[in-house]
Amino acid sequence: MQTQIKICGLSTETAIDAAIDAGATHIGLVHFEKSPRHVALDRAAQLRSHAGARVKTVLLLVNADPAATGRAIDRVQPDIVQFHGSETPEWLKLVADNSSVEIWKALGVRDQPTLAKSDRYVGAADRLLFDAPAKALPGGTGTSFDWSLLAGHDHQIAWGLAGGLDPDNVAEALRATGAPLVDVSSGVESAPGVKQVDRIAAFCQAVRDYDASK
């Protein structure tokens, strides 16, 4: 089975086309004003329209209140909403019950007990993204975590790996974790929020080379 690839934090049509051409299965649009990758809802809707059915579009939100979440989903019409804050399973269930979008939840992994707590999202999230612990920003920091924590973990929910991935280390990360999906943002940038077409292509090629080697 091919590894799924999400290129997150896109803000231009050129970057979206580069991700799709390189074989990404998902693109991510960040709607969080503190992020250097933030796109306003109208712009996110334009980018989502540009992507169309060629790829799955993920809208990333951070601790958005109910009204803001509803507005974002209605305006952008994403395939998936990725919650990247301190959202509870109960909140995710509420969103799922009142929309038709797929629900993802990003979780910062500090240690084994933290990973074990992910089971509380069973029935609330369609996929978990295991990421480095949040710092000043909840994601896109270029920081990885100890991938060995995932070794042998009995995943109860579909999942993916994020945090500090780039074209040079993604194959190693896949060998260490067996992740079915990898998520990259800062690892394919020349500066915060500035995506590089060649690095997007290199990242996707590294994943496909890993798949071919299995």
Task: Name the residue among 141, 131, 127 with its Cα closest to residue 185.
Answer: 141
Average pLDDT over residues 112-137: 85
What residues does each domain of the chain span? Answer: 4-213
Reported pTM: 0.94
Grade residue 142 by pLDDT with cuts at 50, 70 and 90: low
Average pLDDT over residues 86-105: 95
Task: Give, in words, the CATH class of 4-213.
Answer: alpha beta
Phi, psi values for residue 21, rounded to 5°: -60, -30
pLDDT on residue 100:
93
pLDDT, tens digit, for every residue of 51-85? Answer: 999 999 999 999 999 999 999 999 999 999 999 99
Q: How confident is the model at residue 133 (pLDDT cuts 50, 70, 90)?
A: confident
127 has a pLDDT exceeding 90:
yes
184 burial type by CB count under 10 A (0-12 exposed, 13-18 middle, 19+ buried): buried
Percent of the chain's residues with pLDDT above 70: 95
CA atoms within 13 A on the CB side of 57: 25
